[in-house]
Amino acid sequence: MNNLNKALEYFAFISVELFILFMGISAAVALALMYIPQEKLKGWISRRGIFGNFLGALVGALTPFCACSTIPMTLGLLNAGSPFGPVMSFVIASPILNPIILTMVATLLGLKAAVIYAVVTLTASIIFGLVLDKAGFGAHVRNVRINNCCGDKKEEIPATFGGKLKIAFGSAWGDFKKVSIYLFVGVGIGAVIYGYLPQELIVQWAGPDNPLAIPVAALVGIPLYIRAETAIPIGMALAEKGMSLGAVMALIIGGAGMAIPEMSMLASIFKKRLVAAIVVVIFSTAILAGLTFNTII
C-alpha cells in the first residue's frame, strides 16, 4: 500500500505539473510566433554559412515537429533554393530542441540540466547540419510535393493582444489533446517505476558506472514509439531510482528524435541514405549529450 500511495502521488503531482507547463509554454510560443512572420523565419534559414545553421537550429526549436509544419516548410525551403546545411540544422533541432522539452527538463531535472541540454543539442544541430551539407547529402532529397494537410485556410491573426492570447491558448489546448495520451502514459509508467522498481536494479543496469547505459538508453527510445512528453516523466522517475542523468538525456533525445513516426515523415521527402544519416546524427547527439551530462553533473 505504501508503494501504491507513492505511485499515485507521483502520477497526480507530475500530471498536474506537466499540464500547466505544457499549456503555458505552448501558448507562449504560439503567441510569439504571431509576432514573427513565417517569411521572416524562412529568411533566417536562407542565410549561408555557419550563422545560417545557427538561425536554422533556432527556428527548428520554435517549430513543432509534425507533418503540418516541419515537413512542408522543409520541402518549401529546399525547393526555393535555401542552403541545404541550415535546412538540415532546422530539421535536426525541430524534434529534440524546443521550449517544451527545455522547460520540462528545467522543472523536473534542474536549470543546469536544461542549460546543458540546450547547449549540446543546439551545437550538434549546427555542426551536423554543416557536416551533412559538406558530405553532399543534398543530392538525396526526393522530388515530391507535399500537400498542406492542415488545409489551405489560414486563421486570421487578431490585431489585439487579448485576441492573440485567446488563439494562443486555443492552439495550446489543441496541441495538448494531441499529445495527452503520450504524456499520461509516460507519467503512468514513471509512477510504476517510482513506486515499485527496486533502486538497486536501476543503479546496476543504468547507473553512472555502466558505460553501456547511454547508448542502450538512446536505442531504447526508437522502438518504444515515445515522444519527449512521454520520455521525460519516465526519465525523471528512473533518475530518482539511480539512473545516470546521461542515460536519461540519451533516452529523451533518442525518443524525441529517432521514433519511427518521425523517421517515416522524413522518408516522405528524403531518400533512404539521408534518413539513415539523420538517424546516425540523432543517435550521436544522444550519446554526446549523455557523456557530457555524466562528465559535468
What does the pLDDT look like over 275-286, one tens digit per residue?
A: 999 989 988 998
* DSSP 8-state secondary structure symbol assigned to residue 141: B
Continuous segment of H or E residues that includes residue 198: none
pLDDT exceeds cutoff 60 at 146: no
Amino acid letter for position 86: P
Measured in degrees and rounded to the nearest 5, phi and psi for residue 270 equal -115, 150
- Confidence category of residue 202, pLDDT binned at 50, 70, 90: low
Q: From CA 164, how far away is CA 179, in angstroms rounded?
A: 23
Using only C-alpha atoms, the chain has a radius of gyration, in whole angstroms, of 19
Q: What is the pTM for the complete model shown?
A: 0.77
Set of cell numbers at residue 80 = 526555393
All structural domains of the chain with their residue ranges: 2-296
| Stretch among 136-140, 170-174, 195-199, 280-284 having the lowest mean pLDDT | 195-199
* DSSP 8-state secondary structure symbol assigned to residue 69: T
Cα separation values, 167 from 18, 27, 63, 172, Å: 21, 8, 17, 9
Q: From CA 86, how far away is CA 2, in angstroms rounded?
A: 52
Q: Compute, in degrees rounded to 10, the torsion defined by CA atoms 201, 202, 208, 211.
A: 80
User: Between these two residues, 34 and 279, which has the higher pLDDT value?
Assistant: 279
Set of cell numbers at residue 31 = 503567441
Q: Are 254 and 286 in contact (CB under 8 A)?
A: yes
Q: Are 223 and 213 in contact (CB under 8 A)?
A: no
Q: From CA 286, how far away is CA 283, in angstroms rounded?
A: 5
Q: From CA 231, how far away is CA 247, in angstroms rounded?
A: 12
